[in-house]
């Protein structure tokens, strides 16, 4: 159900990643929700096509009666993007991607994230570059989470990543884009989609990312930790669409001084 | 004397399984449902081989699934 009236027809201005086309430029995570029901409702409200998941040891032995995540977030309806969250080196990230590809029946689109520090969850770009090289050579379509360093972003692209995903701010911080200059530089230099991933906190921050020319925004905590996640998901959907339309519309120039909006002639004197 | 079972480590926990158990047997025994991947001794075993691949004595088995994450 469309909650906004876009000027674009369905199918226009789609997000191109690898050889796939997506209508939504909002990508969402599935972590931190109260339960699976809330997860499903929020994802539905977000309008997202691409949904991230984590790969972990299966809970064994006890039948909890709860359905599995992928029963609720169906790979038939959504494009599942397994992540390598929890990996602190290239080897474990590569292993996680291979396990994910196997559990999803050969599906090879992955989100690569290799962290360097468990307090800030900041990416380890050295290990990220290493993992990206191995994964791209192994036939994965890698969407790579990274810092907002323009040189690293370009290097990840040249290694063969299908999308580069610079952080706005640390994961779960909700601080919004901390450096518009570097994000803009990455966008200007890129030949692959740029998706801001991590650190977005509220709707306006998602719009800012799109107004800078980013191709999409990926978020999890901003929705899951809102007081009303389903409502925030709806807000984010609109924010990403609004920011994208504003970007395509070509904003007015900024001015140091005022420029009257009403005619200055023919004022009836008092 | 023949042993009727063997010890393997599944997701970090030692368990006893009958001789002749395949991966499919183990997965059913552990009540795993939905989509999963299996790794034995650090090697991912493709789904197509789960019916034929027998669990060996002392094997370290990892069974993973998708869960919520960002």
Sequence ranges of the domains in chain B: 5-65
- Residue among A186, A169, A165 at smallest CA distance from A178: A169
The percent of residues in chain A predicted with pLDDT above 70, rounded, is: 94
Provide the mean pLDDT of chain A. Answer: 94
Annotated catalytic residue within A111, A119, A133, A154: A111
Q: Return the pLDDT at A1.
A: 46
Q: Return the pLDDT at A12.
A: 86
Q: Return the pLDDT at B1.
A: 42
Statement: residue A174 has pLDDT above 50: yes
Q: Are A178 and A199 in contact (CB under 8 A)?
A: yes
Among all residues of chain A, which has the CA nearest to that of B69?
A: A31
Q: Which fold has domain B5-65?
A: Ubiquitin-like (UB roll) (3.10.20)
CA distance A7 to chain B (A): 31
**If 0-12 CB within 10 Å is exposed, 13-18 middle and 19+ buried, where does residue A202 land?**
middle
Confidence tier at A85 by pLDDT (50, 70, 90): very high
Say whether residue A60 is in contact with chain B using an 8 A CB cutoff: yes
Say whether residue B63 is in contact with chain A using an 8 A CB cutoff: yes
What is the mean predicted confidence (pLDDT) over B38-56? 96
Statement: residue A4 has pLDDT above 90: no
Write the DSSP string, B49-63.
Answer: GTTTPBPPTT-EEEE
* pTM for the predicted model, two decimal places: 0.94
Task: Compare CB distances from A71 to B30, B34, B70 and report the shortest one's residue.
Answer: B34
Confidence tier at A3 by pLDDT (50, 70, 90): very low
Write the DSSP string, A62-79.
Answer: ----PPPHHHHS-TTTSE
What is the mean predicted confidence (pLDDT) over A58-65? 74
Active site residue A41: no
H helical segments located in chain A: 36-46, 69-72, 90-103, 125-137, 150-159, 180-189, 203-211, 221-224, 229-249
Among all residues of chain B, which has the CA nearest to that of A29?
A: B70
Task: Compare CB distances from A58 to B32, B44, B69 and report the shortest one's residue.
Answer: B32
Q: Is the dihedral of CA A131, A136, A139, A144 positive or negative?
A: positive
B66 vs A100: CB contact, 8 Å cut-off?
Answer: yes
Q: Return the pLDDT at A11.
A: 76
Measured in degrees and rounded to the nearest 5, phi and psi for residue A7 equal: -75, -15
Q: Regarding predicted confidence, which is higher, A73 or A4?
A: A73
B63 vs A62: CB contact, 8 Å cut-off?
Answer: no
- Residue among A67, A66, A83, A89 at smallest CA distance from A27: A83
Task: Compare CB distances from A171 to B34, B66, B70 and report the shortest one's residue.
Answer: B70
What is the mean predicted confidence (pLDDT) over A14-35? 97
What is the mean predicted confidence (pLDDT) over A204-232? 98
**Strands A216-219 and A26-28: what pairing?**
parallel
What is the mean predicted confidence (pLDDT) over A14-18? 97
Beta-bridge mates of residue A143: A111, A163
Say whether residue B22 is in contact with chain A using an 8 A CB cutoff: no
**If 0-12 CB within 10 Å is exposed, 13-18 middle and 19+ buried, where does residue B25 land?**
middle
Structure tokens at A182: 């570097």
| Three-point CA angle A237, A162, A197, nearest 5° | 40
B66 vs A55: CB contact, 8 Å cut-off?
Answer: yes
Beta-bridge mates of residue A52: A81
The percent of residues in chain A predicted with pLDDT above 90, rounded, is: 90
Structure tokens at B2: 């023949």
A32 vs B33: CB contact, 8 Å cut-off?
Answer: no
Say whether residue B47 is in contact with chain A using an 8 A CB cutoff: yes
- Residue among B56, B43, B45, B65 at smallest CA distance from B5: B56
């Amino acid at each position: 159900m469309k909650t906004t009236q876009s000027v674009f027809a369905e199918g226009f201005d789609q997000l191109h990643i690898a050889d796939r086309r997506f209508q939504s430029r909002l990508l969402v995570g599935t972590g931190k929700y109260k339960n699976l029901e809330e997860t499903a409702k929020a994802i539905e409200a977000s309008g997202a096509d691409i949904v991230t998941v984590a790969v972990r040891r299966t809970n064994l032995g006890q039948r909890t009666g709860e359905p599995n995540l992928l029963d609720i977030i169906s790979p038939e309806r959504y494009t599942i993007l397994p992540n390598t969250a929890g990996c602190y080196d290239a080897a474990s990230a590569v292993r996680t991607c291979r396990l994910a590809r196997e559990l999803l029946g050969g599906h090879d689109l992955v989100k690569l994230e290799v962290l360097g520090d468990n307090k800030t969850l900041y990416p380890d770009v050295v290990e990220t570059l290493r993992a990206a090289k191995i994964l791209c050579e192994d036939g994965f379509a890698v969407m790579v989470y990274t810092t907002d360093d323009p040189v690293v972003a370009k290097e990840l692209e040249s290694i063969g990543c299908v999308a580069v995903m610079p952080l706005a701010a640390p994961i779960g911080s909700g601080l919004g884009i901390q450096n518009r200059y570097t994000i803009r530089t990455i966008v200007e230099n890129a030949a692959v989609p740029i998706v801001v991933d991590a650190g977005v906190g509220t709707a306006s921050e998602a719009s800012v990312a799109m107004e800078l020319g980013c191709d999409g925004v990926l978020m999890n905590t901003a929705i899951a930790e809102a007081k009303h996640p389903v409502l925030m998901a709806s807000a984010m959907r609109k924010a990403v669409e609004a920011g994208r339309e504003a970007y395509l519309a070509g904003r007015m120039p900024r001015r140091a001084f005022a420029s009257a909006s009403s005619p200055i002639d023919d004022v009836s004197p008092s | 004397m023949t042993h009727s079972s063997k010890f393997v480590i599944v997701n970090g926990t030692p368990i006893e399984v009958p001789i002749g158990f395949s991966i499919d047997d183990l997965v059913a025994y552990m009540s795993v449902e939905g989509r999963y991947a299996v790794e034995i001794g650090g090697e991912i075993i493709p789904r197509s081989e789960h019916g034929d691949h027998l669990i060996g004595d002392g094997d370290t088995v990892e069974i993973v699934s998708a869960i919520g994450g960002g």
